[in-house]
Amino acid sequence: MVGTLHLLALLSYGGAGTVLGLSLATARRDPPLTSLLLLLGGLGLHAAGLAVFTTRHGDLPLVGLGPSLSTLAFLTALSLLLAGALKEARPVGVAVLPLVTALCLAALLLGIRPTGEAVRFSDVWLLFHVVPAFLGYAALALAFAAGLLYLLQFRELKGKRFGRMFSFFPSLETLDRVGHRALVTGFVALTLGLLAGTVWVTRFAEAQAVSVKIAWGVLTWLVFALALLARRRGVTGDRRGAAVAVVGFVVVIVTYIVLRVAVPSGRLFL
C-alpha cells in the first residue's frame, strides 16, 4: 500500500512537471491549471503514503534513506505549493518538480521501509531537530530552483532574447522574492534544528553519526548564511545570492553523497 501510494504520487508529480515542460516548449505564458491539480493530487497521495507508513510501522518516516528521501520529496513539493500562492511564481515548478520526482523515485527504488534501528522519536529534542532540519533542506531546494531560474532569466534579459524562456519564466522580482523567502525560512528552520540537534546528539547519538550529521548540517547552514550575506552586498546582490544558492545546493548534495558512501549508517537521518 505504501509503495502503491508513492508510485501514484510519483506519476502525479511527473505529470505536473511534464505539463509545465510542455507549457515552456510551446511558449505558453501562464502555466495551466492542470499542473496545479496534479501537484495537489500528488501531495495528497504522498501524504497518505507517509501516513500509512507511520500507522503500519509505528514509526515516523525520518530514518533510513528511503523513508527520509520520501519525506524530503513531500516537503519540497509542499514548499512549491506554498510558493505557488503567488500565481506568477508557479512556473518555478519546472525546476522543482523534476527534483521532487527524482527524490520520490529514489525512495521507491531504495525501499520505503523501517530500518529496524531503535530511535526515540518520543523525545521532544529529536523532533525539534529533525522536523526543522527537513524543512530547511526543502527550503534550500526551493531556493536553488528560484535561483537557477533567476540566473537563466537574467541571461535572457542581458542577451535581449525574449523568446519562450523569457515569456514562461517569472519576472526577476518574483524569482528574487521566492528565493529570498525560501532562504530566510530555511535559515531560521535549520538554525533551530541544529540547536535542538546539539542537545539531542549529546544524549543519544553515536560519535560517528554525530560527526556526519553535524558536518552536513553546518555545511547547509553555511550555504544559507553565505547566500543571504551575498544578497546584502551591492546592487548585484540578488544575482550573487541566487548564484550562491545554486552552487551551494550542488555542493550540499555532492557532500551528502560522499558522506553516505563513507558512513552507510541506518542511524543517519537522510
Alpha-carbon distance of 38 to 20, in angstroms, equals: 11
Residue 132: half-sphere exposure toward Cβ, Cα within 13 Å: 22
Which has the closest alpha carbon to 143: 54, 268, 252, 245?
245
User: In the block, which residue shows the cell 520520501?
Assistant: 70
Q: How far apart are CA 190 and CA 135, in angstroms?
A: 7
Domain layout of the chain by residue ranges: 2-262
Residues (pLDDT < 50) of the chain are 207-208, 266
According to DSSP, residue 175 is labeled H
Distance CA 128, CA 192 (A): 8
What's residue 76's pLDDT? 93
- pLDDT for 112 equals 85
**Model pLDDT, residue 51:** 93
Distances (CA, A) of 132 to 78, 85, 136, 167: 14, 22, 6, 36
AA letter at 205: A
**Segment 124-139, tens digit of pLDDT:** 666 777 888 889 999 9
Give me the pLDDT at residue 266, please. Answer: 47
Dig out the grid coordinates for 89 from the structure: 511564481
**Is 89 in a helix, a strand, or coil?**
helix
